[in-house]
C-alpha cells in the first residue's frame, strides 16, 4: 500500500472516518503527514455499499425498477429513485440483465 500523495510505503492505521452511513479506515503517511482513506469503488456515494448491492441484485433477479424501489422502501427503509437504481446497475451490475 502506498500513500496517494507522496508514494511512500510508510503508512500506519490512524482510526476510522465516519459519515452518516459508513465507517472507513483512516490511514496516516509517516513521510508527508497526510491522512487518507483507500478508494473502494464507492467513493462519494451517498448510500452504503450494502444498500447499493441490494438494489442491484434485486434488479438482476428480474424485479422491475419500480418493484425494486418499492421493496427497498418497504423492507429496508431505503428511499431511492428508479433512476438511481438504474445508474447503480450500469455502474456496478453484471452488464446484462437476465430475463
Query: Sorting pLDDT into bands at 50, 70 and 90, what band is 97?
Result: low
How much is the average pLDDT of 14-43?
86
For residue 56, count other CB atoms closer than 10 A to its CB: 20
Question: Looking at the domain assignment, is residue 99 inside a domain?
Answer: no
Q: Is residue 14 part of a domain?
A: yes
The answer on 81 and 58 residing in a single domain is: yes
Largest CA distance in the chain: 53
CB atoms within 10 A of CB 79: 10
Share of the chain above pLDDT 90, in %: 69
- Does residue 62 share a domain with residue 28? no
How many domains does the chain divide into? 2
20 in any annotated domain: yes
The CA distance from 70 to 77, in Å, is 10
Q: Domain for residue 44, yes or no? A: no
Tell me, yes or no, whether 43 lies in a domain. Answer: no
Is residue 13 situated within a structural domain?
yes
Residue 1's pLDDT is: 84
Instruction: Give the domain range for residue 73.
Output: 49-92
Same domain as 30, residue 56: no
DSSP 69: H
Q: pTM (2 decimals)?
A: 0.70
Which grid cell is 35?
491522512
Cα angle 38-46-68, degrees, rounded to a multiple of 5: 120
Are 30 and 56 members of one domain? no
Residue 42 has pLDDT above 90, yes or no: no
Amino acid at each position: 500500500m502506498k500513500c496517494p500523495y507522496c508514494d511512500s510505503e510508510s503508512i500506519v492505521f490512524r482510526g476510522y472516518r465516519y459519515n452518516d452511513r459508513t465507517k472507513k479506515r483512516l490511514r496516516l503517511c509517516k513521510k508527508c503527514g497526510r491522512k487518507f482513506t483507500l478508494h473502494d469503488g464507492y467513493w462519494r456515494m451517498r448510500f452504503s455499499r450494502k444498500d447499493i448491492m441490494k438494489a442491484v441484485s434485486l434488479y438482476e433477479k428480474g424485479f422491475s425498477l419500480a418493484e425494486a424501489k418499492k421493496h427497498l422502501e418497504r423492507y429496508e427503509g431505503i428511499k431511492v429513485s428508479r433512476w438511481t437504481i438504474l445508474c447503480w446497475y450500469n455502474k456496478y451490475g453484471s452488464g446484462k440483465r437476465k430475463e
